[in-house]
Amino acid sequence: VLTAFAYVGHYQAEREHRRYYQLYQRMSATAAEAERRRQEAEDQRAEAEASKKEVERAKGEVEQQREMALLAKAEADRQARVAQSAQCVAENLRARAEDLVQEL
């Protein structure tokens, strides 16, 4: 009778051990999955941060190009004014030269 109780006790202990070991395996798998998801989220966050920095850098480049275009336009406008002024001076000199020629 004791042998039967011992056998039943051993069988139940072995069953409990298997059950807890299976539970441990499931929990370990769940923990590994959670860690994998956490790492994915961290990678996505880092990627988003890098994208944000790239966007900021591109915005800075666009702003710099816009400023350079404005400077180039201002210089072109200045040169157009200089050319117009030179044309006026040339016309005045030509008119004066014609006046001098008529006086002679």
Angstrom CA distances, 83 to 46, 79, 88, 101, stand at: 55, 6, 9, 26
Q: Can you give the C-alpha Rg of the chain in angstroms?
A: 45
DSSP string across 43-89: HHHHHHHHHHHHHHHHHHHHHHHHHHHHHHHHHHHHHHHHHHHHHHH
pLDDT under 50 in the chain at which residues? none
Q: What is the rounded distance in angstroms from the CA atom of residue 16 to the CA atom of residue 8?
A: 12
pLDDT of residue 2: 64
Structure-block tokens of residue 88: 């006026």
Q: What is the rounded distance in angstroms from the CA atom of residue 85 to the CA atom of residue 64?
A: 31
